[in-house]
């Protein structure tokens, strides 16, 4: 049985590696998802059949409870996938933290036969700290993304905030070191409970000052934390599978976080402590330009006369669930000989790849999706840039205005197109809290309204033969 467990661990690890590899290409992404599911199933079953575990019948109840919770959570709209992902990280972190607490108290009570070496004790402390801060941090991130009323969407900052946050973490780490050096001390149990409490508090404090614009990066960082907690748990439980799976999860989350930070031209410390998304007062410089509004009929005529159109999707498209209407507009334009491409910004939406997933759901050809660096050189030759609910990722202020929180962030050069049609629900700023200079540009025309409704009207114009 032990040999079966070892071979199953090797198989599951191989499947996890292939899952990550296949996810690199849209053509093999489905294979990657299947490989990940099969690998996790093999890992769970291989663990479950071990002689020291199979006799605990209550595990069946726990698995059943997992299905009861997991199945409804899988049936969420694509717009809710970011917060759904954050919840997954929360559950993973909670599991790691609870396992670490259980291992420590079993060892203290003498019920565990595991030798609690200084290395294993250190791993136990790291598991509890990372697990519990991931739990509360991910819950806060999910709440911000879901726009829960009692969780502030904008960053909450106060004087000395970073000192308080780092102080809480250092106290938790200090207590962990003390327990590692004196695990048998009478106060060790109370210290371990304090470590868990401080980790829970730190998770909340870590996310409170971070605005919604940074949520894609925060989610990937929390993914890395969850993976690292799994690695620590693997060392504690002497599970090679947990170590390798956690390392894959942690490293992939870290790499993704680095990519996301580069896409915003920012560092980890700036994301975690910079309070990006804090509302900024609008700077008044010279004459203030007015927003120019266009009718749906006029916009449809402009689109039909264009030779090439670049559509720039953003969170507004996701909220309106307008991706299928985007596909209808894409079909209507391409049938008239218009070349249509989609400009994808790395941090558009609320999670990495958010726009890609939404457009794939609407069966937009993946060849039509173009990354920011590739589309920007084409923008000056573009007849129309159609902006669908994107805001900060097309704001020209990022190029030169050092007083804005998005300064230095690479953007899609929508303003360089010959004509810009911007679909927006209101005149409110994006998550960065600053006005978008694109909307008052000489070549920009606004289409106010819900993205799905506006696109429906545009498609209707093409279908009714009302364009001449």
Residues annotated as part of the active site: 392
Q: How far is it, in rounded angstroms, from Cα 389 to Cα 391?
A: 6
Q: How long is the chain?
A: 468
- DSSP state at residue 386: E
- Terminal C-alpha separation, the chain: 75
- How many Å apart are CA 126 and CA 222, to the nearest integer? 15
Q: Cα–Cα distance between 38 and 16 in angstroms, integer?
A: 9
167-191 burial code (b ≥16 CB/10 A, e <16): ebbeebbebbebbbeebeeeebeeb
* CA dihedral angle for residue 40, residue 46, residue 52, residue 58, rounded to 10 degrees: 50
Pairing mode, if any, of strands 369-371 and 339-344?
A: parallel
Pair 79, 349: CB distance under 8 Å = no
> Which phi and psi angles does 428 have, rounded to 5°?
-70, 145
Contact 448, 293 (CB under 8 A): yes
């Amino acid at each position: 049985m032990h040999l079966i467990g070892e071979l199953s661990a090797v198989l599951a690890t191989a499947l996890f590696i292939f899952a990550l590899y296949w996810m690199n290409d849209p053509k093999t992404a489905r294979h990657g998802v299947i490989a990940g599911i099969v690998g996790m199933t093999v890992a769970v079953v291989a663990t479950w059949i071990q002689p020291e575990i199979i006799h605990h019948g209550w595990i069946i109840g726990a698995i059943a409870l997992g299905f009861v919770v997991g199945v409804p959570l899988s049936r969420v709209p694509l717009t809710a996938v970011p917060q759904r992902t954050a919840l997954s990280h929360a559950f993973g972190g909670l599991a790691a933290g609870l396992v670490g607490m259980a291992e420590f108290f079993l060892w203290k009570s003498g019920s565990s036969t595991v030798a609690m070496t200084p290395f294993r004790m250190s791993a136990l402390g790291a598991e509890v700290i990372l697990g519990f801060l991931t739990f509360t941090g991910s819950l806060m991130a999910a709440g911000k993304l879901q726009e829960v009323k009692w969780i502030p969407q904008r960053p909450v900052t106060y004087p000395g905030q970073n000192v308080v946050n780092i102080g809480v973490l250092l106290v938790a780490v200090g207590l962990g070191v003390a327990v590692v050096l004196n695990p048998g001390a009478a106060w060790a149990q109370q210290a371990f409970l304090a470590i868990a409490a401080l980790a829970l508090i730190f998770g909340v404090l870590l996310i409170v000052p971070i605005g919604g614009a940074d949520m894609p990066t925060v989610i990937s960082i929390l993914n890395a934390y969850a993976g690292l907690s799994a690695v620590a748990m693997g060392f504690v439980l002497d599970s090679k599978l947990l170590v390798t799976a956690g390392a894959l999860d942690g490293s992939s989350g870290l790499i993704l976080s680095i990519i996301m930070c580069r896409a915003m031209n920012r560092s980890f410390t700036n994301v975690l402590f910079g309070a990006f998304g804090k509302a900024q007062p609008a700077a008044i410089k010279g004459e203030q330009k007015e927003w120019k509004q266009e009718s749906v009929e006029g916009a449809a005529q402009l689109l039909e006369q264009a030779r090439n159109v670049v559509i720039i999707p953003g969170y507004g498209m996701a909220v309106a669930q307008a991706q299928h209407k985007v596909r209808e507009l894409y079909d209507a334009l391409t049938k008239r000989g218009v070349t249509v491409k989609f400009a994808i910004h790395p941090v558009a939406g609320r999670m990495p790849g958010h726009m890609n997933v939404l457009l794939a759901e609407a069966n937009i050809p993946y060849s039509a999706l173009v990354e920011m660096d590739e589309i920007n050189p084409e923008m000056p030759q573009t007849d129309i840039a159609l902006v669908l609910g994107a805001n900060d990722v097309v704001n020209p202020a990022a190029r030169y205005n050092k007083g804005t929180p998005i300064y230095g962030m690479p953007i899609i050069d929508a303003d360089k197109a010959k004509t810009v049609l911007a679909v927006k629900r209101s005149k409110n700023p994006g998550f960065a809290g600053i006005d978008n200079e694109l909307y008052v540009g000489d070549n920009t025309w606004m289409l106010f309204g819900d993205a799905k409704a506006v696109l429906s009207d545009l498609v209707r114009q093409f279908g009714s033969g009302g364009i001449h």
